[in-house]
Chains A and B, each alone.
Chain A
């Protein structure tokens, strides 16, 4: 359940890494801004859930493009550390700006579609996590179509493969970077709202809670590999839920991260990845 929403965040990471070879540390905070946008649409404008989702995606996409121009492009020349630290700086800024505006305490997200539980055979879902799953699947389908069946998606794939040659063949790589940032952030904004929906809260530092796990699933899945990111996030969500179910809740992180280390050591390129070399 949670895995499908992690997948949306992880896909955002992987898209940007695939095209720009940049680890966007501010991505979880973009998701958080998406959650707050959705919250504002629902509470202040009395919009319904899908309007909120759309609003979250649009605001997040704009934010992503701004981050791209202000923090990522100017620092790209300074080696791998530049964008890493610059986006880290952006994430600190976003966290504290939102905390300044909305306060640092969790703000309750009004129940998106009721808090009732849905029974399906032996499984029990909350309505919020079910709607999260459905929206995640739909968005993932759209993304797959976009990347593999459209011309713009082809440009993204070509740029990810080799930006110089892509440019030679007439791909405007600058635009492609912006587009991949926008798409990744839009997915992130939706994911933020969905995660807020499952938690029942949105708070300024919520990115810390899921960002780490999403980033790690991205790497486990093989950096730059979209299906890898999806499978890995689902696996991570499953491990988390299982640990909780067997009463090992307090050891949840230890179990999860030990499994991750084992996977990384045995398959250093990730589950679906090719070996990624820097520089």
Chain B
């Protein structure tokens, strides 16, 4: 029982790592539904490294990240011209293609998935990586790159006018997100000791976007971490009933979007009323 919860906490940390990538993407206004695919690519790479080639865990994990970054840079080159929905759907299609191709490679286990990987991920490893990444993101928030990303997402034309290479900013955000997802995948396959091609598909990718948005991770990377943590553990906490917990999960999602559409950790701008004020003080004189 205790081990089970430790594993759930580790999974939450891994999801938080992947959601940090979603934060970067949503900062630059790229709705990518391929994070699970990059995660899977990283996982398969890392798994092959340790199981087939016998390389050390750290090398495999790094290789997973690099594989994620490489593939995401290729995808970014293809879809960089697209915007909002079309961009989202193209990345979704990419995820489905990857998942389907992996299904057809017998070397990687085909439909059964890639299993019997050693469990190199210790209970603390995901938290260590998450802590390192968090430090990196704290530093990142004081860098010029942060402002370039922010400006690109807010107003692309204005950003270009002040000399920001917005194409580069979007590309960088996409590649870093791919790298982070790959690392997360490497951690996950060595924690769960295997992966199935199904997990690369659309629903898992969408799950990461939900995590990030519910936490408020569109503009605040802490939000991405909190969202991933809460929403990963929520179904486990609600485990007392099998279907009802997902009904509750859905209800919470709807209620969240009504009362707090921008997520839990969303900084209220100066002069902007909170939802409470909006709901109950509407009749009050200006």
* Distance, CA A277 to CA B203, complexed state (A): 25
What's the A-B contact tally at a CB cutoff of 8 Å?
Answer: 137
Q: Beta-carbon contacts of A79-108 to B below 8 Å, as 1s and 0s?
A: 101110110111111011101100000000
Give A67's nearest chain B residue, CB to CB.
Answer: B254
B257 adjacent to chain A (CB < 8 Å): yes
Q: Interface size for chain B: under 10, 10 to 19, 20 to 34, or 35 or more residues?
A: 35 or more
Chain B residue nearest to A74 in the complex (CB): B258
Interface residues of B in 249-278 (CB under 8 A from A): 249-254, 256-258, 261-262
Assess whether A199 is interfacial by the CB under 8 Å rule: no
Q: Which residues of A lie under 8 Å from residue B246 when comparing CB positions?
A: 92-93, 95-96
Given contacts A97-B243, A219-B89, A278-B84, contact A89 B261 (CB under 8 A): no
Residue of A nearest to B218 (CB): A81
CB B278 to nearest CB in A, in angstroms, measures 9
Question: Which of B58-66, B98-106, B132-140 has 4 or more CB atoms under 8 Å from chain A?
Answer: B98-106
Q: Which secondary structure characterizes the binding site on chain A?
A: helix
Q: Is A223 engaged at the interface, CB distance under 8 Å to the other chain?
A: yes
Q: Which of A74, A91, A261, A278 contacts B90 (CB under 8 A)?
A: A261
Cβ–Cβ < 8 Å partners of B84 in chain A: 276-278
Q: Would you give the shortest CB distance from A263 to chain B, in whole angstroms?
A: 10
Considering only residues 46-96 of chain A, those with a C-beta below 8 Å from chain B are 70-71, 74-75, 77-79, 81-83, 85-86, 88-93, 95-96
Q: How far is the CB of B77 from chain A (nearest CB, A)?
A: 10
Bound state CA distance, A82 and B85, in angstroms?
15
Q: Return chain A residues, CB-CB under 8 Å to B81.
A: 265, 268
Contacts of A117 in B (CB 8 A): none
B48 at the interface (CB under 8 A from A): no
Q: Which residues of B contact A258 (CB under 8 A)?
A: 93, 97
- Cα distance A10–B90 in the bound complex, in angstroms: 17
Given contacts A96-B243, A268-B86, contact A254 B97 (CB under 8 A): yes
Q: A99-B243, A212-B202, A216-B92 are in contact. Are A89 and B97 (CB under 8 A)?
A: no
- Are A268 and B82 CB-contacts (below 8 A) given A82-B257, A216-B89? yes
Q: How far is the CA of A74 from the CA of B100 in the complex (A)?
A: 38
Q: List, in ascending order, chain A residues with CB within 8 A of B86's CB.
A: 219, 264, 268-270
Find out whether the CB atom of B82 lies under 8 angstroms from the CB atom of A257.
no
Where chain B touches its partner, the secondary structure class is helix
In the complex, A96 Cα to B250 Cα: how many Å?
9
B3-11, B115-123, B206-214: which lies at the A interface? B206-214
Contact of A92 among B90, B101, B253 (CB under 8 A): B253
Which of these, B85, B94, B213, B254, contacts A276 with CB under 8 Å? B85
Is B237 in the interface zone, CB < 8 Å from A?
no
Q: Does A167 contact B (CB under 8 A)?
A: no
Please tell me which one of the listed residues A90, A96, A268 contacts residue B254 in the complex, with CB atoms under 8 A apart.
A90
Residues of B within 8 A of A79 (CB): 261-262
Asked whether B236 is an interface residue with its Cβ less than 8 Å from the other chain, the reply is no
Those of A225-279 within 8 Å (CB) of chain B:
250-254, 257-258, 260-261, 264-265, 268-270, 276-278
B261 and A82 form a contact (CB under 8 A): yes
Contacts of A75 in B (CB 8 A): 254, 257-258, 261
Q: Which of B89, B103, B247 is the one whose CB lies under 8 Å from A93? A: B247
Give the distance in Å from the alpha carbon of A74 to the alpha carbon of B259 in the complex.
9
Query: Which A residues lie within 8 Å of B210 (CB)?
Result: 85, 88
What is the chain B residue whose CB lies nearest that of A208?
A: B203
Residue of A nearest to B104 (CB): A250
A107→B85 CA distance, assembly (Å): 35
- A265 and B254 contact, CB distance less than 8 A: no
Collect the chain B residues with CB atoms within 8 Å of residue A93's CB: 246-247, 250-251, 254
Q: What 20 new A-B contacts, CB under 8 Å, besides A90-B254, A223-B85, A251-B104? A: A71-B254, A81-B213, A85-B210, A85-B253, A93-B251, A93-B254, A95-B246, A96-B250, A97-B247, A212-B202, A219-B86, A251-B101, A253-B97, A254-B101, A258-B93, A261-B90, A264-B86, A264-B90, A265-B78, A277-B83
Q: Which 7 A-B pairs have the closest CB atoms?
A: A78-B261, A89-B253, A92-B250, A93-B250, A253-B100, A86-B257, A257-B93
**20 A–B pairs (Cβ distance < 8 Å), ordered by A:** A82-B257, A92-B247, A92-B250, A93-B247, A95-B246, A96-B243, A96-B246, A96-B250, A97-B243, A251-B100, A252-B100, A257-B96, A258-B93, A258-B97, A261-B79, A264-B90, A264-B93, A265-B81, A277-B83, A278-B84
